[in-house]
Every structure is written in structure tokens, then in C-alpha cells.
Structure 1
């Protein structure tokens, strides 16, 4: 959602800085990242690859992309529009009071964006990883220069994540403080276990460089290869606030921002070590906010819960199904209880390891719903979501879309990646993105 805390931008870095003691920083993480209360609002963040309408496998030049974005930025959108490092477009909805409101607002914004891009011969591609093009930076700013330098230390996956990946990110309230199907503890646990089911059911990135990778969600493979410190989640063996606060302070610092010139990119420096050493300078509250924005776990608390594990989906309205299903499974008490029962047996396969670096998540990204246990859980969850959606006020168009997805993919143990592989029959053809 567009009002999520995002850390300061480069322009903010000229503000006065005041150092904060370690205990106070940990308390800030615990207090800010989880805001409990009745689950009432939701949002979605949609990332899209931009491609040539006439021949999608051709790269879009920097000049054409810049001109198209200049036109899109003049649109009166309700959602926040941002550009990812590789030129991917992201629309972040405002927090909505209902699923129907969220879908209607974002759909209208997307229609306007598509029309503006079409005038430049460009379109939006809903796919989790660019199937043809190697990573190429569109944005050259200190933040992304530092990010690239940091991620390069673990191999090429970081550049691909920055420049060739796209997702559907569902944002939900953290839930009640009290225990129960909609309580914070249950929702936090469920997000990490059910997340594997969402990865499998919506996998849509089986290619890189025009060839199959052997993974139905190559996008998830990228996150695995970036490393646990940057893209891993916290331990689930304690309460969410303590686990997340510990994870944040023990995570490696991506960069130390400067008011001018290149930013420092320290090596093997956790935020906790930075606080204790005060080198190269003492970190501040703003540095903590920024540090949190450089961590990419599959579930990221930012006041609300940001579920980041779903590949971008095909079609103009394909994003609606994961948004609707996820919302129903978390915000409807009956569906949440069904999802909990379906996910509980799967938790044993995680072996107590954080997502996404555990066997359950790896199997989900590699095999999708070909995995029998994930297939069984997905069927139960989609049926529960379909039953719950009318209780959440969803209209016929939304329930029909979820029912169609259930019949086309979930019941058959398939996902959109299987369609891409079927159409390609080897190297990816130019028409396989449709």
C-alpha cells in the first residue's frame, strides 16, 4: 500500500541526524512494524514488465521507456506509481476499505496506464521474471548503485531481482492483538506457511534467457540465491515482534548513505554492529527506517503485513485472483481457520527453517502444484476462499475469476508457468507472453 513506511529517500538524507541507543532502536522496530487491530483495510502492489507490443522479445530502449514514463506520470492516478531499477512499473494502491474498492480503483488506474503506454507502442507484461532479456539498469541513483554493489557479492541473482522480476504483493492488516484466527500470531505464522501454497499456485516465471530454468518460479529462485540475510525471513519460534526486531538488527547493512557522492557499501556489517561501533558514523532513526526497506523477506511487516511471494500474473486482470484469494484466506475467520488446518501439515516440511530457505518453499518454487501435498492444500484453500468471498462483499466477477482459476489450474495441479512451458516447447517463442 502506498502509505507503507519506506525509509527516507536520497533527498531526505540532508536532514539533521540524531543517533538512537540500541535498545530504543529495537523498541522502535517492535512498535512500528506491527500495528494491531481489526483487519479492515487492504491493498496491493503490482509490478509489471514493460514490453514492445509488436514484438515482445525486443528490448525497449532507454529513450522510449523514459518518454513513456513521462506520459504516464501526467495521469491522475489514485495509486502511487513508481519505477523499479530495471524499468519495471509498479502501482501501489491506497489502503482500501474493501476488496471491491481496491479492485475497482486499481483496475481504473491500470486501464489509464495501458492506454498511455499503448500510444508509445508499449504494453504491460504480467510475468514473474523477464523470459528474454538480461538485467539492465534503467535507474542510476546512489541507492541503486549501492544496492547493485552489495548484491553482486552473492552473484548475479541480485541484478536479476532488481531489473527483471515482477510480482503481485498483497498488503493486509496485522490483525488482532488477541489470539484467534485473525490474531497477529496466527496471521504471522500463516503467512509464512501458506506463502508456500501461494508460490506454488501462482508460479509464473519458468524462463530466463529464453530457456527453461527448471523452476516454475524462477523469481523465487532469485530470492533464494540473494541469501538469507537479505531475502530470508525471521525465525517463527517466538513472538512476531521479538523475532522481527532481532532479525532487523542482525541483518547486514546494505549501505551507509551520504549527503553527496557514492554511498558506502560495508561488508559483513550488521545493523547491530553498526550501532555498537558507530563507524563510519552513528546510525539514526532514519537509517533504521531505510535499513528495513532494504530487507526483502517473503513477509515484511510495515505496520501491516506485506506478502511478497506471488509472481506477477498473466492477463489484464490476472492479479485480481491472488489478491482475492489471499484476502479471503486471511480476513474471513472461517476461511482463515481452513487455511490454518491446510497449512499445518506442511509446516513439518519446513524443518523449522525460515522461509523461503526451507524445503517446503523450495519445493513450491521448483515444482508448483505438481507437489501432491501442496496441491491438496491449494484445493482446500481455494475452495474456502471461494466460499468466503461473498461474505467479504466480492461481486460475481471476482468469484467467477477465482472459480475459473480453480478449475483451470488448481484442480489440475497446474499454474500459469505450465502454460508458458506448454506453449514454448523449448526456447521461448515471441508469442508466449500473451
Structure 2
């Protein structure tokens, strides 16, 4: 199990200002190598991503990520910078800060509609084992997609965008899923190998290397057409295929493992909860069996999850059953230390048919700015003492 946690970056003295990426890079470099080996990268709008190595069990993952996150947060706090957990930036509009060819071409390909999802969104991506054999992989693939709407609804945390309510609980998921169905929708088909192969072949090529001209956006062909008809420089290489796969953004992306991409970044101190719940429901046999039964009635309810989250009665029932199964499974997985934070989250949100977006949707922008600054100051002071980040 591994995790990729994305964070919005905020100047505590001016939460509505964009933090220049050059400044952020300098500060992060000053923090030194992360003690547990996580990798730091940057999203197009300057969001910071901390990606772990794969770990053999959940407890080790949590310990490592907590240490690395605490290290980088403490250093940034010394310079007035905070990392905040929201699925979409609640205050600032999009600003493309990455000058790399990949991101320029991505921006050209998506057009203006792509700026907000590229530059203002953040998520918790949980990376789970593909399975022991073909039958196990098939089961896990199907569970991932059936469970997806429940995870969207349970962790929805993007109801405000640029200071205004959107009318949705997970605006981040709505933006990504509506951007380009050929690369962001759920692959169709019961067999994962066939479904993913067809999906990848039929997706439009986002960018292509054109000799000395560098990268060219949107060459106007699918990858299947590139194979069968060739391009200006001939057919694709294996490296071209690998790069093409990295430009596909479905809710569940197979990469030799299953990457769950549908979960909004969540507020402090709850960042461990999505990875704990997802891992428990996939890796504990009893919890997995209970989850499969719980999510069967709500499989495919992506739109309801995005708009209504756990105010949808059927999603609420499924979520409560899944969280109960996960809490019971964590000690069996050697992760009993995570039970308190998962139970706290369940009591605050899931058992009440709520999600973090319900905390944000009622805030006026000025009040939310004050709340954001206050929360970040408390986070920096108290992070070392909270059980989730110890």
C-alpha cells in the first residue's frame, strides 16, 4: 500500500494570494531529504504532492507519511507557509505555475476548462496491490469501481470554489470527470484487461514529441490510430505508450497496482482516514466481503456522490457499513493505532450523513479566510501531539 497526498499551499498572512512556485521549491529544498523517503513533486498550479514508497502494511505507511509530512510542514510553517486539505481551492482562482512542456501541452489540450482542475484541485490517492492472481485482480478491480461513489461521498470536500458555493459537494471530482470523457470516465467492460486496453487505445493522444520542435499538443488522433496509421515521425514506441498512459485520469487507474483517484483532499487531522478505510476494505477478507455487499446497491452512483454525498440515503447506508467494517478490520491488519482517528471521522461525518464539504458550504468567503488561517496555526502548533500525526 502507498499514498500520494496533494496539498494546497497557503501563505498564512495572505490566504488569497498565490504562493510563487519558485519560493515554495526553495523552502521545500531547505527542509532537506524527507526522513522516511517520500518524494515531493509539484502540480501545475503549485500544489505540493508527497508520494510514499509502497509499504508491506498500512501501519508502516502511516508512520512514514506522518513523519515526512510533519517534517515538511514544520519547516514551511517557520516561513509562514501552510499546507491545507481541500479538494479544490476555496479562495483562489487557477494560475498555471509549471512551465514544463508537459503542463503547457496539457493546458493547450484541455483549453480554459482544464485550468481549474489542473491548478486548483488536490486529492488523496490510495495505491493498493493489484491482487494475488487474475481472479483476485478482477475482484479488486470491480470492488474499486463499486466502492468509488462511496469514497467520493464520504470524503467530499470541495463545495467552495474561488470564494463561492458551487452547489456540489465534490466539485473536484465533477471537474475532472467532465473534462474529457475519453480519459477521465470509468472504463467500460467487466474484464479489467480488455476494458483498460480498449480505453487506453481509444483515448486521444494528448501530446507527442516532434523531433527538434519539442512537444506538440493534441496531434488529432487516438493512440489506436497512431499505431495503425502512424504519425509524422512514424508509429509510437513503448516509451510513447508509457507516457500516454500517464495522461489518462480515470477514477481508478491501473499502473501495476490500483490507484484510487476519486478522493478529495480532506481537512486536518483526517488525512490518514481515506488510506486506512480503503486499505482495510480491500486487504482484510472479512471487511472486503462486507464492503462488496454494502456497495452493490450504489455502484455507479457517481453523480449522486458528487452532488449529494451522504445526504443521499443509499450512499449514507453504504458508507456507514463500510466504515464499521473498516474500523473492525484495522486491528486485524496491525493498524489498531488508526482506529481512533477513523472512528472520530465516522462519528463527526459518516454517522450523521455529512462530509467535510458540509462544513464549507455555509461559510462566507471572509469568514472562511479567517477560519483557514486559524486552522493552520492550530495545525502547526498541535501536529506533534495528535495521534494521527505522531
- C-alpha RMSD of the superposition: 1.6
Mapping for residues 319-398 of structure 1, pairs under 5 Å: 319-347=271-299, 350=300, 360-396=301-337, 398=338
Match of 1:166 in 2: 122
For residue 73 of structure 1, report the CA deviation from its aligned partner: 5.5
Mapping for residues 12-411 of structure 1, pairs under 5 Å: 42-72=1-31, 75-76=34-35, 78-152=37-111, 155-156=112-113, 158-177=114-133, 179=135, 183-237=136-190, 239-258=191-210, 260-281=212-233, 282-315=235-268, 317-347=269-299, 350=300, 360-396=301-337, 398-411=338-351
| TM-score of the pair, normalised by structure 2 | 0.91
CA distance in 2 between partners of 1:338 and 1:264 (Å): 48
Equivalent pair of 2:20/2:46 in contact (CA under 8 Å): no
CA distance in 1 between partners of 2:21 and 2:264 (Å): 25
**CA separation of 1:266 and 1:62: change in aligned 2, threshold 3 A:** closer
CA distance in 2 between partners of 1:201 and 1:253 (Å): 33
Equivalent pair of 1:43/1:171 in contact (CA under 8 Å): yes
CA distance in 2 between partners of 1:216 and 1:172 (Å): 25
**CA separation of 1:367 and 1:110: change in aligned 2, threshold 3 A:** same
Match of 2:369 in 1: 430
Name the SS for the 2:369 alignment partner.
coil
Name the SS for the 1:309 alignment partner.
coil
| TM-score of the pair, normalised by structure 1 | 0.82
Higher helix share: 2
CA distance in 1 between partners of 2:50 and 2:34 (Å): 12
For residue 77 of structure 1, report the CA deviation from its aligned partner: 5.0
**CA separation of 1:376 and 1:114: change in aligned 2, threshold 3 A:** same
**CA separation of 1:267 and 1:257: change in aligned 2, threshold 3 A:** closer
Residue 353 of structure 2 corresponds to residue 413 of structure 1: yes
CA distance in 1 between partners of 2:166 and 2:241 (Å): 36
Name the SS for the 2:54 alignment partner.
coil
**CA separation of 1:290 and 1:108: change in aligned 2, threshold 3 A:** same
Query: Which string of whole-angstrom CA distances, capped at 9 and with x for unpartnered residues, describes residues 329-386 of structure 1?
Result: 0000110111100111123xx3xxxxxxxxx101101111000000000000000001
Question: Which segments of 5 or more consecutive residues in structure 1 lack a partner in the other structure?
Answer: 1-41, 351-359
CA distance in 1 between partners of 2:186 and 2:283 (Å): 22
Match of 1:14 in 2: none
**CA separation of 1:69 and 1:138: change in aligned 2, threshold 3 A:** farther
**CA separation of 1:135 and 1:261: change in aligned 2, threshold 3 A:** farther
Match of 2:381 in 1: none
CA distance in 2 between partners of 1:279 and 1:257 (Å): 10
Match of 1:8 in 2: none
Q: Which moved more, 1:404-413 or 1:253-262?
A: 253-262
For residue 173 of structure 1, report the CA deviation from its aligned partner: 0.5
How many residues get paired? Answer: 372
